[in-house]
Structure 1
Amino acid sequence: MPPTMDPSSNALENSSARPEPGARPDADVPLRVSSAADVSRILSALGSRDPKATAVILLALGGIFMDAYDFSSIAFGLPAIKVQFGLDGFMTGLVNASIMVGAVVGALAGGYLVDRFGRYRLFMADMVFFVVAALGSALAPEVWSLIGFRFVMGIGVGLDIPVAMAFLAEFSRLRGKGNRSQRVNAWSPAWYFATGTGYLIVLLCFWLLPTTQQDHLWRIVVGFGAVPAVIVLLVRRRFMAESPQWLADQGDLRGAVDVLSSHYGITAELNADVSSGTEREGARTRLSNVLELFSPRFRQRTVAALCVSVFSTFGYNAVAYGTPLIIATLFHQGPLVTIVSSLVINMGFGLAGGLIGMSVVSRFGSRRVTLVGFTIQAAALFTLAAIGVPSSALVLVAVAMLAAFIFAQAGGPGANLMNFATLSYPTRLRGIGVGFNQGTLRAFSVLSLLGFPILTAQLGTGVFWIVACAPLLGAISLVLNRWDPTGKDVDAEDLERVAA
């Protein structure tokens, strides 16, 4: 039975896609499709509750799981890598940052490719990067091989994120349960579940491996990333389909109608007098389209998305990827306390924050939730800076501040940076918008990952005074820029502009 339409929505009114007069919205009456605008209105109003579409969402989140796992899996092993390969602070940071350098390349290229050639093709290809890079990193005989494979892994991550975000947005309706903001925000709990899974594997291996083999623990954890990548790659072939909105924008209305039927459970028919081979004017993706992100129409949105992403990622890279380093080196704790603390912080507070963020974003909006998150993060980091090197009970307070930071990140700026980057642009610009945002974000990530070990070695816990400035600036940027993408039908806005 096709999904019922939200009674409060008038998205199908005044459209050739609406049912015949007198028919109920949930009746088995084909919705007529004559244009890309009709497809946009159908998707905004109805979305999908079909099991195949649910599988697409889960597979998109599976890609996010792999992105997060591969980013964070090496974090615990950095001290051992530093000893094994005899690295100084700069080279340790380079090992950590190499995946980000690859992600810059992958995101910028992937953003263009996903809009140019479609979501499906790129989605089917990027898992190969994860498999090859995970195994290569685990077997790396020396530091430059490790850096090289981590760079390849970053390319895979950079390619995957624009695709995953496009699928999460374009396989969801505009409002109501399971809306676009909620599903795009779902990337956050998936990210922290993956990070927590990595630390859980570390904990199991720590208990099972003999003491003499502990130096190889990081290789096992990194190499394990190939296993879920292979699974996701195989399952994708059965359930994935191209985004109907992208197909419609490219002029393939027949393909869009077919996906609406096969993956959305929506009975739709192409009007007999409509040609399915005419590309919508302006839909063809070009590299120059990135300039449109800074046109008067999109400039405020792009600046807001960049501010949230850059200020969020600077603090996150320092705290999240550096959590084991912080607990072990700055807080002077042993390996077991470091592993368990990192596991609880990510799997407990990160996952909880992400789920809460999903549940409240539709009610309060991405901007307000992000502003609250930045405020909590700044308070937590300034508290850590004031504590300095913790002793006795203050260790618990310091770890609690790390947990508060991750909780606020997962539900606030960390989750909503994707909402700003994904939902601020129409389908024809979504890949480029996410890719440009992610490329810029990863470039700043490289700087933070390279700089944090060096600053930590020089400043100790005083580094938190510097890191705390990032969420503070993020909060200020949102006070000044009031753009909020939550609930905005940017595709309808774009199609109306083209029609005019």
Structure 2
Amino acid sequence: MSRTISIEEVPLNRFHRLLSLRSSGGSFVDGYVLSIIGVTMPALSPALGLNSLWESLIAISALIGIFFGGFLGGYLTDRLGRRFIYFIGPTLFAVCSISQLWVESALTLFLLRLLIGIGVGIEYPVATAFLVEFLPKRYRGPRLAGLTICWFAGAAVAYITGEAILQSQHPEAWRIALASSTIIALLLFVIRLGTPESARWLLKKGRKQEAEAVIKRIFGPQFGLQNLPQEKSELKLSFIDLLRSGYGKRMFFVATFWTCSVIPVFAVYAFAPKVLDAMHLSGDWAAYGSIAITTLFVVGCIIATWLVNRMGRRSLLLNSLLWSALALLLLGWFPDAPSGLVLLMFGGYAVLVGGAQVLQLVYPNEIFPTEIRAGAVGFGTSMSRIGAMVGTYLVPMSLTSIGIGHTMFVAAGITFFALLVSWWLAPETNGLSLDDAASLNNSPQAAPSAGHASNAQPRPY
């Protein structure tokens, strides 16, 4: 008697690759819009007559927007479906980005960037829910982890594009640089045209015929609902009921490790020159050191993406938090170390924290059921942006008040706290079907084997 082939066991096809491209846009835009404002601030500040308060407000406006957008996106994605919400972010990006060409006041710029941030916040839950609900299980972790690399790619493109536009010496160069994200938004909108609704979400809403049609369209006529693993719980529980049933601990785990791992990263990433200067690195050491540290963050994410299936989620997270915390601890103990050693420790932190960074989008998508998956990602996104704001705006104060050594001790303490919470609550989901990963009954200590790959070849989408 032949075994029914799960769609989580099929080979990667053209649709999966296209969906990965479609969903990576949100992370790319996030990195782009958060970085382009830093590039243009020296030019736009005198043009709009900004004081220090307005500079700070405009700098954090997108982060505030992401905070609210994460909650909103999670709620709407779970209630209204994935496909409709998939186009809200690109629409907000395009309209608000092009509007920056005509901005004449600090308040208007603040509001436009707030709306862009809301669009980014909406992106995370819908884009990642789409990916996790369609991808075969062996590709789920690496593809979700790869979204973090896209954030740094967006930031890098923003720096390059922004500097190139500003170097043109055009009197309105800063406006053009800010509006440049319009092109990305329009491209994102176009490539998402034709995306079907999630079959899992349709099935949860009782729309079985539509779910069946989506499965056949993507995987071929030989596939149907019998090939879609069913989630064990058929109870229609509310968001609060699900949290009380045991998912509340998982939500606490996601919010804690995500937020705590973001705070030191944003502090180091955003203030690398200032931090290095506090450690007495100046001139070429500081300039090239900042570039090297930024590059090593990307390297760390790439290595972690490669390891996410090989080490398993739990092991990768615990090791990443442990060794990155120790790197911060060493920086605190030896703030006056030779320049080369300081850069080595900073570089070590940038590489080692890659595991915690890439798992920020993997864990919340795997350990929650369809009913609250997007809501969990949205909640984690929102809380992490509080961490980003804390890490970005307390670092200068901390450097002045308690010094670089104690600042690194605080960062290490935050990372160690994330480690303790993760050791207590992090489950292992490697090799599990999406149903088993989201179940409260799966073992937190050991993962099953990845299973057998299917020999059935779905037709290309």
Distance change in 2, residues 1:343/1:76 (3 Å): farther
User: Partner of 1:44 in structure 2?
Assistant: 8
Distance change in 2, residues 1:337/1:124 (3 Å): farther
Q: CA deviation at 1:166?
A: 0.4
Match of 1:256 among 201, 211, 214: 211
User: 2: CA distance between counterparts of 1:382 and 1:93?
Assistant: 30
User: Partner of 1:196 in structure 2?
Assistant: 156
Distance change in 2, residues 1:444/1:186 (3 Å): same
Q: CA deviation at 1:311?
A: 0.6
Contact in 2 for aligned 1:93/1:453 (Cα 8 Å):
no
The answer to whether structure 1 residue 230 and structure 2 residue 193 are counterparts is: no
Distance change in 2, residues 1:111/1:188 (3 Å): same
Contact in 2 for aligned 1:293/1:302 (Cα 8 Å):
no
User: 1: CA distance between counterparts of 2:7 and 2:371?
Assistant: 15
User: Partner of 1:404 in structure 2?
Assistant: 348
The answer to whether structure 1 residue 345 and structure 2 residue 325 are counterparts is: no
Q: CA deviation at 1:378?
A: 2.0
Q: CA deviation at 1:54?
A: 1.5
Q: Deviations over 1:187-226 (max 9, x none)?
A: 12222222222233345456x445xx7x977655433222
Q: Deviations over 1:361-416 (max 9, x none)?
A: 112222221222222322333344445478xx61x44444443333223x311111
User: 1: CA distance between counterparts of 2:286 and 2:101?
Assistant: 22
Structure 2 counterpart of 1:350, one-letter code: F
The answer to whether structure 1 residue 87 and structure 2 residue 51 are counterparts is: yes
The answer to whether structure 1 residue 465 and structure 2 residue 412 are counterparts is: no
User: Partner of 2:255 in structure 1?
Assistant: 306
What secondary structure is seen at the aligned counterpart in 1 of 2:372? helix
User: Partner of 1:58 in structure 2?
Assistant: 21
User: 1: CA distance between counterparts of 2:41 and 2:344?
Assistant: 23
Contact in 2 for aligned 1:115/1:429 (Cα 8 Å):
yes
Q: CA deviation at 1:112?
A: 0.9
Instruction: Map 1:426-445 onto structure 2 (within 5 A).
Output: 426-445=369-388
Structure 2 counterpart of 1:356, one-letter code: I
Structure 1 counterpart of 2:370, one-letter code: T
User: 1: CA distance between counterparts of 2:317 and 2:85?
Assistant: 30
User: Partner of 2:360 in structure 1?
Assistant: 417
Instruction: Map 1:449-460 onto structure 2 (within 5 A).
Output: 449-459=392-402
User: Partner of 2:316 in structure 1?
Assistant: 369
Distance change in 2, residues 1:268/1:147 (3 Å): same
User: 1: CA distance between counterparts of 2:398 and 2:46?
Assistant: 19
Q: CA deviation at 1:93?
A: 3.7
TM-score, scaled to structure 1 = 0.76
Distance change in 2, residues 1:60/1:94 (3 Å): same
Q: CA deviation at 1:418?
A: 1.6
Q: Deviations over 1:101-151 (max 9, x none)?
A: 111111111101101111111012211111233334565434333322221
Distance change in 2, residues 1:165/1:241 (3 Å): same
Q: CA deviation at 1:484?
A: 2.8
Gaps of 5+ in 1: 1-20, 26-30, 32-40, 272-279
Q: Deviations over 1:439-469 (max 9, x none)?
A: 2222333333333343345455343332232
User: Partner of 1:171 in structure 2?
Assistant: 134
User: 2: CA distance between counterparts of 1:184 and 1:301?
Assistant: 18
User: 2: CA distance between counterparts of 1:495 and 1:420?
Assistant: 13
What secondary structure is seen at the aligned counterpart in 1 of 2:304? helix
Contact in 2 for aligned 1:203/1:340 (Cα 8 Å):
no
What secondary structure is seen at the aligned counterpart in 1 of 2:142? helix
Question: Which is further off, 415-424 or 255-264?
Answer: 255-264
Instruction: Map 1:248-397 onto structure 2 (within 5 A).
Output: 248-265=203-220, 267-269=222-224, 282-283=235-236, 288-289=238-239, 291-323=240-272, 325-326=274-275, 333=282, 342-346=290-294, 348-388=295-335, 394=339, 396-397=340-341
Contact in 1 for aligned 2:100/2:112 (Cα 8 Å):
yes
Contact in 2 for aligned 1:189/1:355 (Cα 8 Å):
yes
What secondary structure is seen at the aligned counterpart in 2 of 1:426? coil
What secondary structure is seen at the aligned counterpart in 1 of 2:435? helix
Distance change in 2, residues 1:442/1:71 (3 Å): same
Structure 2 counterpart of 1:311, one-letter code: C
User: 1: CA distance between counterparts of 2:312 and 2:174?
Assistant: 40
The answer to whether structure 1 residue 246 and structure 2 residue 201 are counterparts is: yes
The answer to whether structure 1 residue 144 and structure 2 residue 107 are counterparts is: yes
Instruction: Tell me the percent identity.
Output: 22
Distance change in 2, residues 1:382/1:293 (3 Å): farther
The answer to whether structure 1 residue 153 and structure 2 residue 97 are counterparts is: no
Q: Deviations over 1:301-339 (max 9, x none)?
A: 2222122111111112212233355457876756x9877
What secondary structure is seen at the aligned counterpart in 2 of 1:262? helix
Question: Which is further off, 225-234 or 136-145?
Answer: 136-145
Q: CA deviation at 1:270?
A: 6.5
What secondary structure is seen at the aligned counterpart in 2 of 1:484? coil
What secondary structure is seen at the aligned counterpart in 2 of 1:42? coil
Question: Which is further off, 440-449 or 310-319?
Answer: 440-449
User: 2: CA distance between counterparts of 1:83 and 1:328?
Assistant: 26
RMSD of equivalent CA atoms = 3.3
The answer to whether structure 1 residue 491 and structure 2 residue 435 are counterparts is: yes
User: Partner of 1:18 in structure 2?
Assistant: none
Distance change in 2, residues 1:493/1:377 (3 Å): closer
User: 2: CA distance between counterparts of 1:56 and 1:331?
Assistant: 46
Question: Which is further off, 380-389 or 360-369?
Answer: 380-389
Contact in 1 for aligned 2:39/2:163 (Cα 8 Å):
no
User: 1: CA distance between counterparts of 2:111 and 2:99?
Assistant: 9
Contact in 1 for aligned 2:289/2:343 (Cα 8 Å):
yes
TM-score, scaled to structure 2 = 0.82
